[in-house]
Amino acid sequence: MTINESIESVRKSFRTDLDSFPSDPKEIDSLRSVYFGRKGLIAGLYISLADLPNNEKPEAGQSINNFKKKLQTDFDAKASTVIDVASTTHNQSFDLSLPGFPITNGSIHPLQQTLDEIKSIFKSVGFKVAYGPEIEDDYHNFEALNIPKHHPARDMQDTFFVKDNIVLRTHTSNVQIHLMEEREPPLRYIVPGRVYRNESVSYKSYCLFHQIEGLFVDKNVSMADLKGILEYFVKQFFGESTVMRFRPSFFPFTEPSAEVDIWDKKRGKWMEILGCGMIDPNVFENVGYDSSIWHGYAFGMGIERMTMLKYGIDDIRLFYQNDIRFLEQF
């Protein structure tokens, strides 16, 4: 059989299959393989070129190429028509007069709502927002903040070590060091972000949580300024009738240091909300500030704790379980 006779034979077979073209996509793919697959009829025509004399191969090869293009065009056109008809028929099966499915709106996560509110309060009195690295070196996370090597916060039970001298930050206080290293005073910033502690997960603790740090550096800054700004914040966030108190405390990077409590009427007891204090002169010396000229305060609070107190939530794990029943309440 000559090449032309072989081409004509495939053409007749193709016309027959085109007249009874399938509508199922899987059957269409199978038919495509019959003609255009690696072992299909078109491939067989190319194989038969090997039996021709060399002087006849170029012309015969061109004939097969043209034939293949024609079949491919006709096949694609037929397949497209069949699929369009099937799609139209399928769409017509819908009753367009029926009401649509309800689309529910999402909501902002309660932690993000709390964070946005806290940022808004401090921005309203001149604080800027800054961010910093979550993977930090030992110096910025500990040493520059006046936390020596022997400090308990360095134990493995508290800190996730990535490798020697590199940790997942245990507080957002690392960013205050970066800010003071990179900028000249005065400074007025809040620093939100995730922090990490190697602690057991329970209703009141989690291995990661969110903090927001406050930093203010200027001349003639006093503890009275710190108490004033925190009292303003507490009244704005929890309400004007909120009762609060300052208790003496200890933090390595502030001196004097204090903790702030609010009176929880539902629980009938004082609840700690944040830690604060005047920046230790050693910290200023570590970043190159003259502590005889510049003074400042810092404070930090947990976003999860603030959210739990404000909304009466008693289990920190609820924030991370993505339970729609819980999240819909916010």
Ordered mean pLDDT values, 10 residues apiece, the chain (330 residues):
83 87 84 87 86 86 89 87 59 70 84 95 96 93 87 70 88 94 94 90 85 95 95 95 94 93 88 95 94 95 93 90 87
CB 156 within 8 A of CB 199: no
Q: What residue has token string 């009738």?
A: 241
The closest of 52, 37, 40 to 2, measured between CA atoms, is 52
Enter the pTM of the model: 0.66
CA–CA gap between residue 127 and residue 230 (Å, rounded): 13
HEC readout, 252-308: CCEEEEEEEEEEECCCCEEEEEEEEEEECHHHHHHCCCCCCCCEEEEEEEEHHHHHH
pLDDT at res. 60: 86
Predicted pLDDT of residue 329: 86
Q: Are strands 161-163 and 135-137 parallel, antiparallel or unpaired?
A: unpaired
b or e along 65-80 (b: 16 or more beta carbons within 10 Å of the residue's beta carbon)? Answer: eebbeebeeebeebbe
CA dist 100 and 151 (Å) reads 62
pLDDT value for 8: 87
pLDDT for residue 246 = 96
Tokens of 280: 């230790």
Structure tokens at 76: 């694609």
| CA–CA separation, 232 and 237 (whole Å) | 9
Q: Which residues pair with 269 in a beta bridge?
A: 264
Query: Which pLDDT does position 297 carry in this prediction?
Result: 97
| CA torsion through residues 59, 61, 62, 64, sign | positive
pLDDT at 286: 92
Cis check for the bond before 256: say yes or no (omega within 30 of 0): yes
